[in-house]
Structure 1
Amino acid sequence: MTSRTTAVPKNRHGAPAEIVPRGGGSPSTVSAPRAPIMARRTKMWILNGVSLVAGIGIWWLMALGGFQFPTPPEVVVAAIELWREGILQRDILASLARVLTGFLVGSAVAIPVGFLMGWYTVARGLFEPWIQFFRTIPPLALLPLVLVLLGIGELPKVFVIFLAAFLACVISTYQGVVSVDKTLINAATVLGAKDGTIFARVVVPASTPFILVGMRVGLGSAWATLVAAELLAAQAGLGYRMQQAQLYYDLSTIFVGIIAIGILGLAMDRLLLLAESKLTGWQERR
């Protein structure tokens, strides 16, 4: 005599699925997929807070232990003074304008070029040697030449930022296109999809994660290039302010510039992460 067991339905996560009794009533097993997500986010925020406090504590100990660092209160006082005088706002706006202009234009040019290189063999043959050639040259190495050709205005600074963002994003976009699963393309072809439909409905969504990663890398390169570009022939900006503070050995102002760049870069990176979560919600994640 065999005993009969009843299989318990499970959801896609392997957990017991929600079971609603006949005739209504509350479910016997309530699945709350958002609860684990909220718990992970809360844990991450706690870890971020602990890391921040620990970092400031280590900085404070180093400042009191013989390193020529200003203490956190001294940096806060310097930031308040610069803010009251309007200097910090002016520098932040000048640096943000240069970074956003170069980064957005560089990404806007890199994405279609990367798609062309990945989708068309002719475009790949024409563009790839030049992109690989300039990718091995740091954008800052071209800054003296750019200053001679374009002058000492805003254009050379924006151009080197554009170049840094473009080179990071175009390679990632190209890699995303060539990494698309051929099974998906073949399946769409069998179903009668044309090249334009396959590109728009298969290639572009599958390449989006690569594009956003490239944009994040390009954003970091843009900020790193900005600071060096502002050291030459700038009248405002966080990099310019740090250079001026160096002449007077004003370490507190230098730290204000470093922290401001870090906060701005982190905020922009988090915005890209938010866009990634919205645009690539179909991906399976750990």
Structure 2
Amino acid sequence: MPASIRSVGVYLVGFASLFLIWHAAATWIVGSVLFPPPWQVVLKGIELAQDGTLWEQVSASLGRIASGFVGGSLIGIPIGLAIGSFPLVRRLLEPYTEFLRFIPATAMITVAVIWFGIGEGSKIFLIIYTTVFIVILNTAAGVSAVAPNKIRAARSLGAGPGQVFFFVALPATMPYILTGMRLAMANSFVTIIAAELVAANNGLGRMIWDSRMYMLVDQIFVALVVLGFLGFTADRLYLRIRRALLAGNLRGRGSCASGCWRWRWCWARPRPTPNSPR
């Protein structure tokens, strides 16, 4: 049996077990008023999807997550590369990154609302804030973990600083960068709900808050289930992209002194000179 089919089977069994436990707890332990059974949540979800409410809230939250996540990654990757590559930059920036990363994005919600209002800017700022420090730390750690023998081998073959960076350090750092982005993506889902609970006119977080005010517990669970499904799906898709990006690097390791990716030109091989034997 193919591995992909086995994985799908495992996921289905896991979700089926979860729904059975959920149904048992809602029926015999907690009660359906405070803990609606799965079938009630599914029916409510279908109703919200048919009238367009669910799609509006989902698209609002996903748009904010995507914008902030991409923005935070684009900011964090070059800063992390600079911190890991240059000791002077590390000494200059590390105090700020170490100070700010211990202030959670949820604590910055009020500041974000004061600065940007309750529009899209405050939510995107918070996602960028929660993304950038995770990406910076993982990227810098990846650069620091590059094997010194690879750098020495590349330099001995005539590579300049730029070639060492782009064809040795950067490919070796990619697993760290992609792992940091995966962790940041999970934090983005947490942060957007907290932000929408406090300062938003739409989104899944706002849907949860409004449902609480009217004691619509089944609608709250619709938002929670959809949020979990979106996060799970995004993570699985990201892992597939990550494996595809790193597959060439893993297969090509050892074929070149620089450890370059299989699809890259192996610049590190010595070029023959007019007077050297071919």
Same fold (TM > 0.5): yes
TM-score, scaled to structure 2: 0.86
State how far apart, in whole Å, the 2-side matches of 1:179 and 1:272 are.
23
User: Are the counterparts in 1 of residues 113 and 199 from structure 2 also a CA contact under 8 Å?
Assistant: no
| Equivalent in 46, 49, 57 of residue 80 of structure 1 | 46
1:56 aligned onto 2:19 = yes
What CA distance in whole angstroms lies between the structure 1 residues aligned with 2:23 and 2:151?
A: 56
User: What CA distance in whole angstroms lies between the structure 1 residues aligned with 2:213 and 2:46?
Assistant: 21
| Aligned counterparts of 1:159 and 1:88: Cα–Cα separation in 2 | 24
**Alpha-carbon offset, residue 121 of structure 1:** 1.2
Give CA deviations for 1:134-158 in whole Å, capped at 9, x if unaligned: 1111011111122112222111111
CA-to-aligned-CA distance 1:139-195 (integer Å, 9 cap, x gap): 111111221122221111110111001111111111111011111111111111111
- Contact kept, 8 Å, 1:119 with 1:177, in 2: the verdict is yes
1:252 is displaced (CA, Å) by 0.8
Superposition CA RMSD, Å = 1.3
1:222-233 matches, within 5 Å, as: 222-233=188-199
Residue 124 of structure 1 aligns with an amino acid whose one-letter code is R
- Aligned residue number for residue 10 of structure 1: none
CA deviation digits over 1:18-68, x for unaligned, max 9?
Answer: xxxxxxxxxxxxxxxxxxxx7333322221111111111111111112213
Question: How do 1:8-23 and structure 2 match up within 5 A?
Answer: none
1:6-155 matches, cutoff 5 A:
39-67=2-30, 68-155=34-121
Of 177, 183, 196, the residue aligned with 1:217 is 183
Q: Which residue of 1 aligns with 2:250?
A: 283
2:269 corresponding residue in structure 1 = none
CA distance in 2, matches of 1:112, 1:229: 27
C-alpha deviation, 1:108, in angstroms: 0.8
Aligned residues: 247
- TM-score, structure 1 length as denominator? 0.84
Give, in whole Å, the separation in 1 of the partners of 2:115 and 2:14: 46
Instruction: State the secondary structure of the residue aligned to 1:180.
Output: coil
Q: How much has 1:234 moved relative to structure 2?
A: 1.2
Unaligned regions of 5+ residues in structure 1, if any?
Answer: 1-37
Identity across the alignment (%): 35
Matches for 1:233-252 after TM superposition, within 5 Å:
233-252=199-218
Match of 1:162 among 113, 122, 128: 128
Q: What are the Cα deviations for residues 206-252 of structure 1, in whole angstroms up to 9, with x where unaligned?
A: 11111111011000111100001001231110000011111111111
1:133 partner amino acid? F
1: distance between equivalents of 2:138 and 2:29?
44
* Residue type of the alignment partner of 2:250: Q
State the SS of the aligned residue for 1:235.
coil
> Could you tell me which amino acid in structure 2 is paired with residue 179 of structure 1?
A
Is 1:258 matched with 2:221? Answer: no
Instruction: Tell me what 2:276 maps to.
Output: none
Shift of 1:272: 1.5
One-letter code of the match for 1:259?
V
